[in-house]
Amino acid sequence: MSAAAMSLDGKVALITGAASGIGRAASLMFAEAGAKIVACDLSEAVNETAQAVRDAGGEVMAVTMDAGSEPDVIAAVKAATDSYGGLDVLFANAGITGGLRGFFEGTPEVWAETLRVNLIGPFLAIKHGAPEIMKRGGGSIICTASVAGLRFGAGPAQYSASKAGVINLVQTACQSLAGTGVRVNAVCPGLTETGMTKPAYDMARAAGKEHKIGQINPLRRGGQPEEIASMALFLASDASSYLNGQAIAVDGGLSSSHPVAPGTVREVEEGLKTVREP
């Protein structure tokens, strides 16, 4: 694949959750690929992301907004079109965990807020972003889902359910946008070092157990924001021009298996080896 295929030269990209983690990495990466960036986040730290993009030679504007608020989403999209003349790429990346309560400790309030940000937020981004992208003849919308949305075991209940909703949302949206040239896909990160997961990483490091982070995936490590942002860049670019309605796991291989008892894989391999040998 040529570098030109991954170019976003001349395009305008709006990124939510841009104050840190995957959103900040994507802002820098998309700008390096040639896009003008509209970096959005509820946190004032989004201005630090904007400054980092400028320091790297990119063109960017920062917008403080709540990804789950329809007026804020409308205003962010308008800021993009007013400032840069249109919109080509939308990365609906903002999200929250809703806390680490057990299933029966969850409350309707926690569930409602998690769904508001994680699922209604991407819906609003698509609802208001897609018509502007259509005016440019088509483009790409990427939503951040999660491996937690694929199956149990990668996040608390309200978070997992919200991300499962995102996966279905991109499928529904791509069908609703059939014939418009607007593609909608999801990236499903595994455990990745971001602002959201910082407490878990800090706890592991303080306990001298950093080496155990990500130990249950085949790569035996956690991910970095840039590794997820790279997939988002691919989905944003023309290199993925025939990819639509998909949820792609970027998780070190975590979602490639069903749960097995410790040692089971090794036992099976040894058994097969015995069968093969005379």
- Give me the CATH number covering residue 44: 3.40.50.720
Q: Which domain holds residue 103?
A: 3-276
Cβ(185)–Cβ(246) below 8 Å = yes
Question: What is the reported pLDDT for 102?
Answer: 87
Question: What is the longest distance spanned by two Cα atoms in the chain?
Answer: 74
Give the residue numbers marked as catalytic. Answer: 159
CA 170 to chain centre: 12
Per-residue pLDDT at 219: 80
* Mean pLDDT of successive 10-residue stretches along the chain, which has 278 residues: 79 98 97 98 98 98 98 98 98 94 91 98 98 98 96 89 98 98 97 64 58 70 92 97 97 80 55 52
- 14 — phi, psi (to 5°)? -105, 130
Residue 88: its pLDDT value, please?
98
Cβ neighbors of 214 (< 8 A, separation 6 or more) are 190, 191, 220, 221, 222, 223, 252
Whether the Cβ atoms of residue 156 and residue 101 lie closer than 8 Å to each other? yes
Domains in the chain, number: 1
| Contacts for 115 with CB less than 8 Å, ≥ 6 apart | 158, 161, 162, 165
pLDDT given for residue 270 in this prediction: 60
pTM: predicted TM-score of the whole model, two decimal places: 0.88
